[in-house]
Structure 1
Amino acid sequence: MIIREMEEQDLAAVSATCMASFSQSVADTLSEEGVSTFSKIAASSAFLERMKGDNLILVAEIDGKIEGVIELKEGRHVAMLFISPERQKEGTGRALLSSALNYAKVDIVTVSASLSSVPAYEKYGFECKGETGKSAGLVYQPMEIKLNKAMHATSA
């Protein structure tokens, strides 16, 4: 597995990976508005715009194919973490998160986790902080991780 920064030629594969994972594990739990909102966020054009901003976007490449993506916004917030459905529970998410946390600019990194992803984030060392929220049809659980704890969690 190779973890590297996303490049423009990866946009279609990254978008497809996010949509495949989202469709399998999250879409059924959301309203039509939530699915539409996510589709816009995961579009290739939206990734390109964020890639040109202050967002670090890393991909996991396995056998020449994009199998996962993580987006770290402003060095402090995990905005996206999606793994191809057929590659989940193989350590790809943990490897991406570990790599992205090396670029964190703060001691506490946050994520607005979809409810179905809360157990995975807990395994990575994140803790729930506050009540679930809803924005533009997306339902999320605020979570955070203290980086000294993260370093122990990623080596487990």
Structure 2
Amino acid sequence: MTKFDDVGEIRVAASGDAKAIQSLVMSLSHFYLEDIEAPLPKWFLKTLSLDAVIDRLTSSEYQTLVYVEDGIVCGYVSIKSESHLYHLFVCEEHQGKGIARQLWNAITSGSDVNTYTVRSSLYAVPVYERLGFQRTGEVASKEGICYLAMSAVLKR
């Protein structure tokens, strides 16, 4: 566990965090859907089922941390296969406070991996650029979810 400014803490996510993680990602859908009125695509909803979230939290293929403030999960980060940033989400009311950077630094700090990839929502591109990611592809869309392929090479 890592404390930050006596406000929040970053810790390894547990199965008991699955519902909070699911709610967090779904609450931010208006940032990654082309049409904010459209329903989430079935394939994406499947990845957000409680069973799917728990499977990721208990899988050795994923490393997942949460940022908790006053007992509430306000942010979370997940790395897949050691080098793909699978998810990085911060609840809307806590965005702009450096939580994404804290989560990113915490999850990469003990790693020997230098190059990371992400499929960023268009909204989050500036955040990833501040974390050192660069665009590696063109804007793409999968059933209403727009994204941009990016990668980062960390200087160690």
- Counting matched residue pairs gives 148
Name the TM-score, length of structure 1 as normaliser: 0.84
Q: Using a 3 Å threshold, how does the CA distance of structure 1 residues 82 and 34 change in structure 2: closer, same or farther?
A: same
RMSD: 2.1
**What is the aligned partner in structure 2 of residue 51 from structure 1?**
57
Q: In structure 2, give the amino acid aligned to 1:128.
A: R
CA distance in 1 between counterparts of 2:99 and 2:29 reads: 16
**Structure 2 unaligned residues grouped into runs of 5+:** 1-7
Measure how far apart 1:137 and its partner are: 4.2
Do the aligned partners of residues 104 and 133 (structure 1) sit closer, same or farther apart at CA in structure 2, a change above 3 Å counting? farther
1:97 match = 104
TM-score normalized by the length of structure 2: 0.84
Q: 2: CA distance between counterparts of 1:107 and 1:44?
A: 31
- Aligned equivalents of 1:95 and 1:120: distance in 2? 12
Q: Which runs of 5+ in 1 are unaligned?
A: 152-156
Give 2:138's aligned residue: 131
In the alignment, does 2:122 pair up with 1:111?
A: no
The Cα of 1:102 is off from its aligned counterpart by: 2.2
Higher percent of residues as helix: 1
Give 1:154's aligned residue.
Answer: none
Larger deviation, residues 80-89 vs 34-43: 34-43
- Work out the percentage of aligned pairs sharing the same amino acid: 27
| Partner secondary structure for residue 118 of structure 2 | strand
Q: Which of 8, 27, 33 matches 1:27?
A: 33
